[in-house]
Amino acid sequence: MSLIGLVITLIVIGLLLYLVNQYLPLDPKIKQILNVVVVICTVLWLLSVFGVFDSLSNVQVPRLRG
């Protein structure tokens, strides 16, 4: 991904998060949780783009038997 594409993607994510925070009538706790989830997902995506999480695709989630 090019640097311009990366910057545009971050601007779009920030703009969408701003619009959700300004114009959707949600409880402040729900907005805070949404903000935290979006920031964590964005940071993980950035780490993946820069190659820090190359081994992320090799992680296996164990099954729970029930």
Q: Which of residues 62 and 10 earns the better pLDDT score?
A: 10
Sign of the C-alpha dihedral computed for residues 43, 49, 52 and 57 taken in this order: positive
Token pair listed for 12: 């779009």
Residue 57 pLDDT: 65
Token pair listed for 11: 């601007």
For residue 66, is it within any domain?
Answer: no
For residue 61, is it within any domain?
Answer: no
For residue 23, is it within any domain?
Answer: yes
Residue 41 pLDDT: 92
Cα gap 63→49, rounded to integer Å? 28
Domain membership of residue 38 as a residue range: 3-53
What value does the mean pLDDT take over residues 38-56? 83
For residue 27, is it within any domain?
Answer: yes
Residue 23 pLDDT: 92
For residue 26, is it within any domain?
Answer: yes
For residue 11, is it within any domain?
Answer: yes
Distance set, CA 32 to CA 18, 23, 27 (Å): 12, 14, 9
Alpha helix positions (H), 1-66:
3-23, 28-49
Q: Is the pTM of this model over 0.95?
A: no
Q: Which of residues 60 and 47 earns the better pLDDT score?
A: 47
For residue 60, is it within any domain?
Answer: no
State how many domains the chain has.
1
